[in-house]
Amino acid sequence: ELGKRTGTVQVLKRSGRELIENSRDDTTWVKVQLQELSNRWDTVCKMSVLKQTRLEQALKQAEEFRTAIHQLLEWLSEAEQTLRFRGALPDDAEALQSLIDVHKEFMKKVEEKRLDVNSAVGMGEAILSVGHSDCVTTIKHWITIIRARFEEVLTWAKQHQQRLEAALLE
């Protein structure tokens, strides 16, 4: 839209200069108006560039948030599947200890993912602090989902850990 108006502004400036050059009357008023036009046009162009830059940054931030959310949702689905289909616990103490060791590694990954969840929540909250009001519901929705699903995975993982430890003591 701004590009379309550039030609009009240039024609207007040229017409003003021609009027000043060809007139025998006092052209002070025309000069002042041309200067005012130039100043305001420059301001509009600078503001447009600034707005475009801010929009591009907001888009990048939104894409990073979306990517983080989708990666977390994918991992959460895998973690839920892993925890849901663990199967029966073995009676053998050695096999049980092996499962405990595997589960400890899983718990390390869960704790590592907590950092990713916190990072994604931080991204979402940063968007909420500067974003348009239309995005509030959607961003809050995704923040709530990843927090709830992460807490659910963490709870299931802790319960499984307790079952493994109890089975080892039996």
Q: Residues 80-126: pLDDT tens digits?
A: 999 988 878 888 889 999 999 999 999 999 999 999 999 999 999 99
Pick the CATH number of 1-168 from 1.20.58.60, 3.40.50.970, 3.30.1330.60, 1.10.1740.10: 1.20.58.60
- Predicted model pTM: 0.78
- Range in 9-23, 115-129, 149-163 the model is least confident about: 9-23
The predicted structure's pLDDT at residue 93:
87
Terminal CA-to-CA distance of the chain, rounded, Å?
76
Quick check: 170 pLDDT over 80? no
